[in-house]
Structure 1
Amino acid sequence: MSFFIETAELQRIGALIEAHAAPIYAARGIPFEQFAYVLIQPGKDGGKPRGAALRANWRAYPCSLVKVFHLVAAQLRLEDGRLSAHGELDRAMRDMILWSSNSATNYIIDLLTGTTGDTLLNEQDMNAWCERREEVNRIFAGLGWPELAGINLNQKLMDDLRYGREKVALDRSPTGHNCLTPIAMARLMHEIFSDSALLPPARLAVIRDHLARDANDPDRGRGAYQLLGYLGDALPGGTQIWSKAGRTRWLGDDRASFRRHDTLRAILPAGQEFLLTVFTQGEAIAEDDGFLPAIGALVAAELATLAPESQ
């Protein structure tokens, strides 16, 4: 785990996460191998971040967590001039994160890759189409981060089964569906919220603004806002929250159904800061609106006992 240092204090909190989650999985007959997390805190004096993790390299269907990658990809292409700014792109970037819109995400994928999903193509055109669809993978491979090994970002976001070009592309994809690992998601969130060379400060600010969540927002109760039922749901009042979550129910495809994930940055009222990414799989967990909030609350309660300067 190259980008953070494991520490005894965060490993202790990690053990509490596992002790909380394991009996719930066992009671519901779900293999505990379908649970993973990465917990990170900023390094002292700008040093290497500190953390703890369980199954950080689990390759899992990521639901809508991939949308953070698409937001970053769009900002990278805007910065290098290969994507042109316009109002519809701005609207799509906002809605992709704020409301987790699949339609907005797929519009951005079309812009990044020069592809559209539609009727079938002949063999030669389909080969060219699949090559263009690899563009988002190429963007992140170009960063050279070891934590991104094994991820896949070449599929659009769908609410059920795929048809036409999208079905052919899925069947041809060496890795199948989109997939992420908890460590890949955690590394990207760390770069977004640190003094990173990933993007200029103004572009990082755009990404952070889109990820911000307000526990007092009138839309908090809407499922699409992705706060209720997720890691930020039960944090102490006054906590600052940035997050992106995702959930699938039955999609007609066992490779993608019944997941609930979240990636969160939080700053507690007394100043303690942490990043927490959790991946889960299993119908009883995906349908449980209390599972992830309890984990977020557990981590917050443990970190609240530590002075910010001592972390």
Structure 2
Amino acid sequence: MVFYRPDQAMASRLESVLDALDSEGRPGLRNSLALTWIRYESTQPLAGQGMGTGWNEARLTYPASVVKLFFAVAVERWLQRDLLPDSEELRRAMRDMIADSSNDATGLVVDLLTGTSSGPELHDERWQHWQRQRRLINDWLSSLDWPELASVNCCQKTWGDGPYGREKLFYGADNSNRNALSTSATARMLEAVMTGAVVSPPACRRLQELLGRPLDPDQRKADPENQVDGFLGAGLPGGVRLWSKAGWMSQARHDAAWWQLDDQPPMQMVVFSWGRDRSQDETLLPDLARALSEYSVAESD
């Protein structure tokens, strides 16, 4: 069961697009890709009003920096419940975490959300308490009672070089405790943010402001890490408004994007791709967005 209405025509279109991309030099593409694709009929849809399709969309995988979307929503929830004092430094960290995908800013946000900090290994009761605190974000996600969030894991900071000390220990010897999300879970959270259906409408508007991405070529050129080039936004038609959060590392290239063209209904797509080949493929996500957004526009005319 999914939170949108399955659309067979969209499923057929997705199948043909994946076949074409596979034949263009990406053999085995379906084994290294997960995707959720949803479009809406209203220009201001409510949560649950989308229709769509997906591929591997329930598969849990390492989300890289896409997890920062969930951390940002958690901050607004904590603020709403007076579990966290608001401050300019917190807001600065939120902006840098989403707009620039800063791992340093994310570390502060996770510390504030969970009352923990990085450092040397801990032992006994202190170690057990630290782990319980780090799972507070997972506890909140579980309380939402969304089927898509079953078994997701959002308890780890994001890293450049990797975790050390207690952080490395918390990952587990085989990295079994890494962050894990599915495209369907991410799509439902993004939809909730964009439709004002999580925390509160004012909080969602603040989050939307953070997620906004300029598509102007000059602005993108001035920011090589703009989270548009090499991702879904690069394949969208001119004139769209884009809200997104990308993730990229040596073994993954992901994006979660919501966009709207003029007075047409919006559309969203979440794509997770993994493996070194996918990570280095700067055209796959733009090609997917280009092929599927063109279909959506044609269908809504």
Q: TM-score range by the shorter chain?
A: over 0.9
Matches within 5 A, 1:125-204: 125-171=126-172, 175-196=176-197, 198-204=198-204
- C-alpha separation in 2, matches of 1:168 and 1:282: 25
Give the SS at the match of 1:73.
Answer: helix
Deviates more, 1:227-236 or 1:47-56: 47-56
**Contact 1:236–1:269 under 8 Å retained in 2:** no
Match of 2:64 in 1: 63
Match of 2:31 in 1: 33
Identical columns (%): 30
Give the SS at the match of 1:215.
Answer: coil
Give the SS at the match of 1:163.
Answer: coil
Give the SS at the match of 1:166.
Answer: helix
Q: Which runs of 5+ in 1 are unaligned?
A: 250-257
Match of 2:267 in 1: 274
CA-based RMSD: 2.0
**1:273 Cα shift?**
1.7
**Contact 2:32–2:278 under 8 Å retained in 1:** no
**1:59 Cα shift?**
0.8
**Contact 2:63–2:247 under 8 Å retained in 1:** yes
**Contact 1:237–1:269 under 8 Å retained in 2:** no
Give the SS at the match of 2:247.
Answer: strand
- C-alpha separation in 1, matches of 2:261 and 2:15: 21
Whichever residue aligns with residue 56 of structure 2, its letter is R
Q: Deviations over 1:129-180 (max 9, x none)?
A: 1111111111111111001011101111111232101011111799421010
- C-alpha separation in 2, matches of 1:247 and 1:112: 24
Matches within 5 A, 1:31-110: 32-42=30-40, 46=46, 48-110=49-111
- C-alpha separation in 2, matches of 1:245 and 1:179: 15
Matches within 5 A, 1:179-258: 179-196=180-197, 198-216=198-216, 218-221=218-221, 222-249=223-250, 258=251
Whichever residue aligns with residue 290 of structure 2, its letter is A
**1:20 Cα shift?**
3.0
- C-alpha separation in 2, matches of 1:214 and 1:16: 30
Give the SS at the match of 2:232.
Answer: coil
**1:127 Cα shift?**
1.3
Match of 1:9 in 2: 9
Q: Which runs of 5+ in 2 are unaligned?
A: none
- C-alpha separation in 1, matches of 2:59 and 2:239: 33
Whichever residue aligns with residue 13 of structure 1, its letter is R
For residues 146 and 175 of structure 1, do their structure 2 counterparts lie closer, same or farther at Cα, with a shift above 3 Å needed? farther
**1:23 Cα shift?**
2.8
Q: Deviations over 1:63-101 (max 9, x none)?
A: 000000000000011111111100100000000010000
Whichever residue aligns with residue 235 of structure 1, its letter is L
**1:278 Cα shift?**
0.5
Q: Deviations over 1:226-272 (max 9, x none)?
A: 110000012111011111100111xxxxxxxx100001101124614
- C-alpha separation in 1, matches of 2:171 and 2:294: 43
Give the SS at the match of 1:159.
Answer: coil
Q: TM-score, normalised by structure 1?
A: 0.90
Q: Find runs of 4+ consecutive structure 1 residues off by over 4 angstroms.
A: 28-31, 43-47, 172-175
Q: Deviations over 1:103-136 (max 9, x none)?
A: 1111000000000001122222111111111111
**1:29 Cα shift?**
5.3
Task: State the number of aligned residues.
Answer: 297
- C-alpha separation in 2, matches of 1:48 and 1:121: 47
Give the SS at the match of 1:95.
Answer: helix
Give the SS at the match of 2:299.
Answer: coil
**Contact 2:235–2:285 under 8 Å retained in 1:** no
